[in-house]
Amino acid sequence: MPVSDLLVRRLGLMEYKPVWRAMQTFTDQRDTNTPDELWLVEHPPVFTQGQAGRAEHVLAPGDIPVIQVDRGGQVTYHGPGQIVAYPLIDIKRLQMGVRELVTGIEQAIVDVLKSYSVDGQPVAGAPGVYIDGVKIASLGLRIRRGRSFHGLAFNINMDLEPFQRINPCGYEGLQVTNLSAFARVSMLEVEDRLISCLCKVLGYNHRFRVVEGGLP
């Protein structure tokens, strides 16, 4: 496919570690002629702790594994019913700065929420998207040689109890919510809207192709 196009991979439900390792490998092995990709996945229950993560924010993980990873940010939770999207983007090639990428991802989530008549907002200094101060989507990226990996987690219709076992994103008492609390939704429909909104803010518009299942 042309370098100027985006390949979108719908991976379904996959364990966290194999997807994380595949992201690292893809980023390390790509070159200036490698097309960008966007991976969408759900993970079985797992806590991930960012590079600057502090152990005191993991309160009582219980039987849910905690994985130390190479993204920015503090601890968060992934589980079924949450859309996790990993933009594997050559931001240097797109002439896009890191701040611009973060703002674009947040705007894409805000646009998806707006399509359901839900008003979401970014909060300065606390990456992600919130509804009246309650967090619905988190964001943690890594940039290596001008290429991004890791990404966003968007709560759609998940069990929120595990968030009580941590200080989400390092904020004690931070409340989290699902999109399903505000609108009747399906995972597939929200994924479709998120793909469209991310492609728009990243400049791909209709220049993308979606494939089902399978890591590269």
CA 155 to chain centre: 10
Kindly state the tokens that stand for 47.
């806590």
* Cα–Cα distance list, 148 to 44, 189, 208 (Å): 23, 26, 18
169 is catalytic: yes
Report the helix count and the strand count for the chain, using DSSP H and E: 3, 11
CA–CA separation, 128 vs 43, rounded Å? 19
Query: Distance between CA 201 and CA 205 in Å, rounded?
Result: 8
List Cα–Cα distances, 14 to 44, 82, 159, 191, 210, in angstroms. Answer: 7, 12, 17, 16, 18
**Most distant CA pair in the chain, distance:** 47
Residue in 101, 139, 169, 197 annotated catalytic: 169
Which residues form the catalytic set? 169
